[in-house]
Amino acid sequence: MRIAEMNWMMVEEYVRRDDRCVLPLGSTEQHAYLSLSVDSILAERLAVEAAEPLGVPVFPVLAYGITPYFRAFPGTITLRAQTYLSILRDILDAMAEQGFKRILIVNGHGGNAPAQGLIGEWTAEHRDVRIKFHNWWNAPKAWAQVQAIDPVASHASWMENFPWTRLANTDMPSEQKPMSDLELIRQLDPKSLRAYLKDGNFGGRYQRDDEEMMKVWGAGVEETRQLLSAGWA
């Protein structure tokens, strides 16, 4: 269930019987021909599908992340790392204060990795709270499905092209884009990166059959649900 579909009294009643919740993390950044909100759409939807059978509330996705390298692509919005970590700390403080003691963070954006360092620091100061940080797309089961289907997969390629991240009336290129030089990418400033990537895809096919995509999605949902269900210290 979504927090957006609850009122405060419903949340108060829930916390009396359960202390779990889910916080999705996303970003607003270029994804070639796909939505700028790919990471946010996927993190929130996956969190909701995983948590729904368990009756665990899912908070609205934090839709802005750390993505300075894509600043030359219009529509990309990045937060400074310090700003992002301050926001996340405030959210966790509020959750703990209200009684949420087991928090699953479903992350949809690799650039949000600094959050993992903050969580280690934060939990050291809040010993009664447990947090799991879950990069859903490269977790073992989801990533195994990606590799089984097509090992040439990357940012803004087919592996992020789901029915709910593609745009109407937007045609995808039919060819497979050669993989970018990831070491070179890390050295480029935003304008140079845009010139190098051109459309924004890092490499791979742009789209695969939805039947294949549902295998990746199903693995991701199942893996996330298992994390939410068990293994809490």
CATH of the domain at 39: 3.40.50.10310
What band does 22 get if pLDDT is binned at 50, 70 and 90?
Answer: very high
> Taking 90 as the threshold, does the pLDDT of residue 218 lie above it?
yes
- Single pTM value for the model: 0.96
Q: Identify the pLDDT of residue 211.
A: 97
Residues 6+ apart with CB under 8 A from 215: 145, 149
> Taking 90 as the threshold, does the pLDDT of residue 152 lie above it?
yes
Give the integer Cα–Cα distance in Å for 50 and 141. Answer: 14
User: What domain range includes position 208?
Assistant: 3-229
Alpha helices in the chain (DSSP H): 8-17, 38-51, 81-97, 114-125, 140-149, 182-185, 190-197, 210-229
What band does 35 get if pLDDT is binned at 50, 70 and 90?
Answer: very high
What band does 30 get if pLDDT is binned at 50, 70 and 90?
Answer: very high
Burial of 8 (0-12, 13-18, 19+ CB in 10 A): exposed
* Mean pLDDT score, 59-83: 98
Vertex 227, ends 142 and 86: CA angle to 5°? 95
Burial 170-198 (b: 16+ CB within 10 A, else e): eebeeeebeebeeeeeeebebeebbeebe
Residues 6+ apart with CB under 8 A from 204: 150, 152, 153, 154, 157, 158, 159, 176, 177, 179
Quote the number of domains for the chain. Answer: 1
* Mean pLDDT score, 71-96: 98
Q: Identify the pLDDT of residue 233.
A: 79
Arithmetic mean of pLDDT over the chain: 97
Q: Identify the pLDDT of residue 221.
A: 98
Counting Cα atoms < 13 Å in the Cβ hemisphere of 132 gives 21
* Mean pLDDT score, 149-159: 97
